[in-house]
Structure 1
Amino acid sequence: MHSSSVILLASGNSLGAYIPAMHLHTYLQTKGIETDVQVLENVYQEEVRNKIRSTKKAFHANFAVARMGHKLAKPIDAALDEESVQRLLDAWKQAGISRFAVFTGFWLPILERYKAAAGRLLDIRLIRLDAWDTPSFKVHKELYPGYNNVWFYEPSQLSPGSYIASDEVEPLPYGERTGRILIHGGGWGIGTYAATISELRLLGRGLDVIVYDPSEVDEDDGITRYFGTQISWDPWSRDALGRHTFPPMIRYVRTDGVLREYPLGDYSAYMYLMRNCAAIISKPGGATLNDSLSFGIPFIMLEPFGDHELHNSNYWEACGFGIRFTEWKTGNYSDDLLEEMCKRLVEHRSKINHFGRKTYAAENSSYI
């Protein structure tokens, strides 16, 4: 790393605070901008980090438990490993790091320490991919007003200002897509998404389902396809070259009760599903709003997880980019509605810039 590097501060606790960071990392690398992704869990105490999987499992199993956990969110200071934090701060200071893109508010206490020690002007941008405070920012309301908050979905303006993607490839026209619907429950596999699968299967809709656990995979019906991330992967681990990676994807097929796994290689397999789908069904998380805009995907929204997702749902609906599942069902699962939303999304996307190009690629010459 050197002083012109951009440090992307993510979290593995939520893929919504990890995948967009990885998209921005990938994009900036192609533009010749040095970046490094730092995942918050790597400065946690080991015993705290080890509990994350069991918490995710509990939240996946019971949406009510997940919502209660959301309400009880608190600063993570007690979970931090002081030696790991100090090593990170020392490394930033030694390299003269001054540019940060922050995808979760839980990094703010650490950034406060760096601001006090750095001895230089810092460019710290808080990436706000929701239309309201998420728990990680809400618990630091006294800190975040002192930073550059980049609201992608400014609540007072029904016009998203940017999107983040790994590239700038244009979305596919609606008529060229496969017509399949992508269904998932976010990085933790939570929400009411599972109930929609059997309902849509009865209608003969082609579905691509992202499961949280292979046990969710039903017998192959020739129409529904199941995918998931490799069980052993976690966002805070690095590969053999010391890099954070997108989750490796697997396709699952259950035939005569036997489950088979087909590794799909890199994350481009999942991005192919997004580029080609007619709509996405999920809870209204901020990262999924970004996917909707980046790929021009109509968003059929399920029950929200927390106040921020309720605001996300209201915002996307008001923009004409999404519809609540109950309303889509009332409208007889209309494809015409989806096509109208797709046209609005693609038109709006054509008028705005990729955040990485607008913010960092355009400024890069001043740091060389």
Structure 2
Amino acid sequence: MNSSPVTLLASGNSLGAYIPAMHLHTYLQVRGVRTEVHVLENLYHEEIRRKIHSTKKAFHADFSVALMGHKIAKPVDSSLNEAEVQLLLDTWIRDGVSRFAVFTGFWLPILERYKTMAQTPLDIQLIRLDACDTPSFKVHKSLYPDYNNVWLYEPSRLSPDGYIASDDMELLPYAQRAGRILIHGGGWGIGTYAGTISELRQLGYPLDVIVYDPSEVEEDDGSTCYFGTDASWNPWDWNAQGKHSFPPMNRYVREDGILRAIPLRDYSVYTDLMRNCAAMISKPGGASLNDSLSYGIPFVMLEPFGEHELQNSNYWESCGFGIRFAEWKALDYSEQHLEEMYRRLLEQRSKIIHLGRKTHATENSSYV
């Protein structure tokens, strides 16, 4: 007998509130649990949705602008199309939707409305992928204490409580990995990641770089590989089957000044890169912490984006799973420190299980 359907509430504004939801969706679907993913931006007025691209571009171009935007985060109520919200609520009532996994606090006012309409008890879990409130939860501090907050990284305990991936495969042994370093700037391509690329290339490190824009791809040097999300894709788009999906990704190669885009088979090609890398360099977003734990990736952390990422950085460093880039550099880019972090990640993974197995797994089966 399968568990009741689970509705996953995500956001495309940040891939950190989208990709983990898609991982959980994939994991549960494989195990016979029906799921439905909803992306908040589909409830926005069209003109608001169109502005997201210009905001992302500005944040990518100037990290200080991104930091300022983070500080003035506010509820999204004024962005919502009331007709679309009401249609969604009516659909949930019609279908008797009762189980939710929520990846951004901006859904809370809509859930508050649904709680007054629903005729059955609701199981609503707020999946907290950071060590403290992100802006989407901070602006709804009066609401979220009434919900079941599932903290993967409880600050009072230096031992993460779970992870989210499309599967629950064992970690690849460190000695069997390709020794490449993965560098990215999160879903919006922000932060100080770009400055580390030339530095590490000069030192001869083989790199896998996730670019925000193909214009960042440099001439092929036989060692650095470039990847990126297809520019035509938006997280709020539906695929040919009318469903949300992982972003389509390309590998980019520039030879003699000519750029080629080579589509990846599917998103698992990218997760295989993570599973196989020696370290990840990025800002310490919650989804990146999850990647670090899910795939056993030592995390070299760049400048944080806001208070929550600062707390994430402190937490991961205290757990022994990560190191700040400046400190790693001062240690002469120590490979020994990376391997020690991997061993601690491996030990932690042996103590915990996938969030899907713990909270929304198939009933009466080995996944409970």
1:166 and 2:147 aligned = no
Distance 2:69 2:364 in 1: 41
Distance 2:46 2:130 in 1: 30
In the alignment, residue 294 of structure 1 is paired with which amino acid?
S
Structure 1 partner of 2:7: 7
Structure 2 partner of 1:100: 100
Instruction: Report the secondary structure of 2:197's partner residue.
Output: helix
CA contact (8 A) 2:11 2:18 kept: yes
Structure 2 partner of 1:73: 73
Name the TM-score, length of structure 1 as normaliser: 0.98
1:84 and 2:93 aligned = no
Distance 2:299 2:323 in 1: 6
1:265 Cα deviation from its structure 2 partner: 2.1
Structure 2 partner of 1:301: 301
Instruction: Report the secondary structure of 1:304's partner residue.
Output: coil
1:149 and 2:136 aligned = no
Instruction: Report the secondary structure of 1:327's partner residue.
Output: helix
Distance 1:100 1:65 in 2: 34
Distance 2:69 2:278 in 1: 33
Gap regions ≥5 residues in structure 1: none
CA contact (8 A) 2:43 2:85 kept: yes
1:276 Cα deviation from its structure 2 partner: 0.5
Distance 1:173 1:306 in 2: 34
Structure 2 partner of 1:37: 37
Distance 1:161 1:271 in 2: 21
Distance 2:61 2:364 in 1: 45
Structure 2 partner of 1:136: 136
Distance 1:363 1:101 in 2: 17
In the alignment, residue 85 of structure 1 is paired with which amino acid?
V
CA contact (8 A) 1:4 1:97 kept: no
Q: CA-to-partner distance for each residue in 1:101-135, whole Å, 9 max, x for gaps?
A: 00000000000000011122100000000001000
Distance 1:353 1:37 in 2: 23
Structure 2 partner of 1:272: 272
Distance 1:167 1:41 in 2: 27
Structure 2 partner of 1:187: 187
CA contact (8 A) 2:282 2:301 kept: yes
Instruction: Report the secondary structure of 1:133's partner residue.
Output: coil
CA contact (8 A) 2:3 2:361 kept: no
1:252 and 2:229 aligned = no
CA contact (8 A) 1:3 1:95 kept: no
CA contact (8 A) 2:254 2:260 kept: yes
Name the TM-score, length of structure 2 as normaliser: 0.98
Distance 2:260 2:128 in 1: 39
In the alignment, residue 74 of structure 2 is paired with which amino acid?
K
1:4 Cα deviation from its structure 2 partner: 2.0
CA contact (8 A) 1:249 1:269 kept: no
Superposition RMSD on alpha carbons, in Å?
1.1
1:137 Cα deviation from its structure 2 partner: 0.2
In the alignment, residue 8 of structure 2 is paired with which amino acid?
L
Distance 2:169 2:146 in 1: 35
Instruction: Report the secondary structure of 2:89's partner residue.
Output: helix
1:326 and 2:348 aligned = no
In the alignment, residue 348 of structure 1 is paired with which amino acid?
Q
Q: CA-to-partner distance for each residue in 1:236-291, whole Å, 9 max, x for gaps?
A: 00111011010111000111111111111210110010011000000000000000
Structure 1 partner of 2:204: 204
Please list every run of at least 4 consecutive aligned residues from structure 1 whose deviation after the TM superposition is greater than 6 angstroms. none
Distance 1:301 1:327 in 2: 10
Structure 1 partner of 2:124: 124
Structure 2 partner of 1:282: 282
In the alignment, residue 178 of structure 2 is paired with which amino acid?
T
Q: CA-to-partner distance for each residue in 1:132-172, whole Å, 9 max, x for gaps?
A: 10000000000000100000000111010000010011110
Structure 1 partner of 2:349: 349
Distance 2:45 2:119 in 1: 28
Instruction: Report the secondary structure of 1:51's partner residue.
Output: helix
Instruction: Report the secondary structure of 2:7's partner residue.
Output: strand
In the alignment, residue 10 of structure 1 is paired with which amino acid?
A
1:214 Cα deviation from its structure 2 partner: 0.3
Distance 1:361 1:79 in 2: 34
Distance 2:335 2:93 in 1: 54
Distance 1:363 1:39 in 2: 27
Structure 1 partner of 2:317: 317
Instruction: Report the secondary structure of 2:137's partner residue.
Output: helix
Distance 1:142 1:149 in 2: 13
CA contact (8 A) 1:3 1:98 kept: no
Distance 1:240 1:221 in 2: 37
Quote the sequence identity (%): 74
CA contact (8 A) 1:328 1:334 kept: yes
Structure 1 partner of 2:61: 61
Deviates more, 1:252-261 or 1:8-17: 252-261
1:364 Cα deviation from its structure 2 partner: 6.8
1:363 Cα deviation from its structure 2 partner: 4.4
In the alignment, residue 15 of structure 1 is paired with which amino acid?
L
1:3 Cα deviation from its structure 2 partner: 9.5
